[in-house]
């Protein structure tokens, strides 16, 4: 089990209790294409065993399966409830991780999936002054 995985689990746990501090403005709207549900980046998860542990501690992760790995060897997850047309088959019962997408506050490099209807307006140093 890697230290990145433990950090990822720890930060996921803290996200339920600690208010988020870094805010990026998210603009745009959902295209209902389902790309965000098929290309879930899992920073820190490196293998299936770590995903299984995450699923044990956070049961809403059981909806995700490994679809591939990215260039940094992080797992890329997909939701098993996404339909071919890009819509969620259990939309009314989706977990908060899905309801809150895209998060208005994130603590890592803010990027959206290519061709997503949402865009992130990154702030420069001058914006904070």
In whole angstroms, what is the distance from residue 38 CA to residue 67 CA? 8
The confidence band for 126, taking pLDDT boundaries of 50, 70 and 90, is low
- Read off the pLDDT of residues 25-42 as tens digits, 9 standing for 90 and up: 778 888 888 988 998 877
User: Which phi and psi (to 5°) does residue 91 adopt?
Assistant: -50, -45
What is the percent of the chain where pLDDT is above 70? 80
Question: DSSP strand E in 1-129: where?
Answer: 25-28, 40-42, 64-69, 75-79, 118-121
Q: Residue 77: which domain range?
A: 3-128
pLDDT at 14 over 80: no
- Of these ranges, 4-8, 101-105, 115-119, the one predicted with the greatest mean pLDDT is 115-119
The confidence band for 18, taking pLDDT boundaries of 50, 70 and 90, is low
In whole angstroms, what is the distance from residue 13 CA to residue 61 CA? 13
In whole angstroms, what is the distance from residue 119 CA to residue 28 CA? 6
The total number of structural domains in the chain stands at: 1
In whole angstroms, what is the distance from residue 89 CA to residue 38 CA? 14
Closest among 66, 58, 12 to 39, alpha carbons compared: 66
- Read off the pLDDT of residues 59-78 as tens digits, 9 standing for 90 and up: 888 999 999 988 878 888 99
| Angle subtended by helix axes 3-14 and 48-57, to nearest 10 | 20
More confidently predicted of 64 and 10:
64
Structure tokens at 42: 């899992």
More confidently predicted of 109 and 48:
48
- DSSP letter assigned to residue 82: B
């Amino acid at each position: 089990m890697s230290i990145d995985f433990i950090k990822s689990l720890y930060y996921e746990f803290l996200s339920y209790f600690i208010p988020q501090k870094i805010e990026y403005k998210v603009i745009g709207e959902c295209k209902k294409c389902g790309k965000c549900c098929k290309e879930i980046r899992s920073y820190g998860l490196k293998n299936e065993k770590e995903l299984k542990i995450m699923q044990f501690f956070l049961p809403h992760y059981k909806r995700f399966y490994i679809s591939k790995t990215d260039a940094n060897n992080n797992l890329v997850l997909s939701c098993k409830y996404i339909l071919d047309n890009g819509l969620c088959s259990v939309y009314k019962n989706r977990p908060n991780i899905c309801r809150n997408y895209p998060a208005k506050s994130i603590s890592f490099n803010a990027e959206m999936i290519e061709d997503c209807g949402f865009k992130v307006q990154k702030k420069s140093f001058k914006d904070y002054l």
